[in-house]
Amino acid sequence: MIGVLALQGAFIEHEQMLRSLGAECRELRERRDLDAPLDGLVLPGGESTVQKKLLADLGMFDELRRRIAGGLPVLATCAGLILLAEDTTQDASPYPGFGTLHVRVRRNAYGRQLGSFSTVQTMKGLGPFPMRFIRAPFIEAAAPDVDVLARVDGNIVAVKQAHQIALAFHPELGRDTRVHEAFLNEVVAAASARRSA
Ligand code: GLN
């Protein structure tokens, strides 16, 4: 069961894509939605400042952080990347993020005018991939345990660290399902690692 954080932003598109690949999804809207176990988590794009405040106000933050830190596989896009990042710049939010991904992210890195654009760039292991950016962040710095999956104009826009996959762009808004397939493979791998532990 994949939990999709459904407080705000582009979560429905993730659910549609995951369901088209045969995965079961549950929307996470309040604390009790976290009572049952999850095999994976999607942190969608949207507005990270709003999402951080809602996570705190709804009492969901600590439990989600605990699960991510415990190795729950995560797919994070755009605002979701900002939520995962250990460090952020241009972020005025007084609320914390999960801080489990060892990167420094620059919020609204492309400015307001150039914030939205599309491009096709190579993703490690996947080849050319269509990327849609919407008032996107990029990653300014990544620790050695972070695998850089893609860059645009030299800036890091996709990474993987253990079971966390994080992207500055929005694969759920396109038709290419390969990132979501890679995430589901990660979910299966994490589940079988848990069973044999
Ligand atoms: N600019 C948004 C933020 O700072 C992210 C945009 C997005 O998720 N498409 O949270």
> For 34-51, how does the pLDDT look when each residue is reduced to its tens digit (9 = 90+)?
999 999 999 999 999 999
Are 87 and 97 within 8 A, CB to CB? no
pLDDT at 1 over 70: yes
Residue 78 appears among annotated catalytic residues: yes
Show Cβ contacts of residue 144 under 8 Å, excluding neighbours closer than 6 positions.
none
Residue 170 appears among annotated catalytic residues: yes
Q: What is the band of 113 on the pLDDT scale with cuts at 50, 70, 90?
A: low
Show Cβ contacts of residue 30 under 8 Å, excluding neighbours closer than 6 positions.
58, 60
Model pTM score: 0.96
Percent over 90 (pLDDT), the chain: 91
Choose among 66, 63, 75: nearest CA to 35: 63
Are 109 and 79 within 8 A, CB to CB? no
pLDDT at 112 over 80: no
pLDDT score for 111: 77
Active-site choice (14, 102, 163, 170) = 170
pLDDT score for 171: 98
**CA distance to 17, 29, 57, 74, per residue, from 35 (Å):** 24, 12, 17, 18
Q: What is the band of 154 on the pLDDT scale with cuts at 50, 70, 90?
A: very high
Ligand 1 pocket: which of 13, 75, 78 to mutate (most atoms within 8 A of CB): 78
Are 10 and 170 within 8 A, CB to CB? yes
pLDDT at 92 over 90: no
What's the whole-number mean pLDDT along residues 134-154? Answer: 97
Chain centroid to CA 104: how far?
14
Q: What is the band of 130 on the pLDDT scale with cuts at 50, 70, 90?
A: very high
What is the overall mean pLDDT for the chain? 96
Show Cβ contacts of residue 22 under 8 Å, excluding neighbours closer than 6 positions.
none
The residues that bridge with 167 in the sheet, in sequence order, are 77, 158
**CA distance to 49, 62, 68, 129, per residue, from 97 (Å):** 9, 10, 12, 28
Which stretches does DSSP call E strand in 78-177? 85-89, 101-106, 117-123, 127-133, 138-142, 147-152, 155-161, 164-167
pLDDT score for 94: 93
- Domains of the chain with bracketed CATH: 2-196 (3.40.50.880)
Of 15-19, 59-63, 160-164, 193-197, the one with minimum mean pLDDT is 193-197
Separation of alpha carbons 16 and 148, rounded Å:
27
Ligand 1, CB cutoff 6 Å, lining residues: 45-48, 78-79, 82, 107-108, 134-136
Sign of the four-CA dihedral 80, 102, 153, 184: negative
pLDDT score for 114: 62
Q: Of all atoms in ligand 1, which is nearest to the CA of residue 82? A: 10
Residue 144 amino acid letter:
P
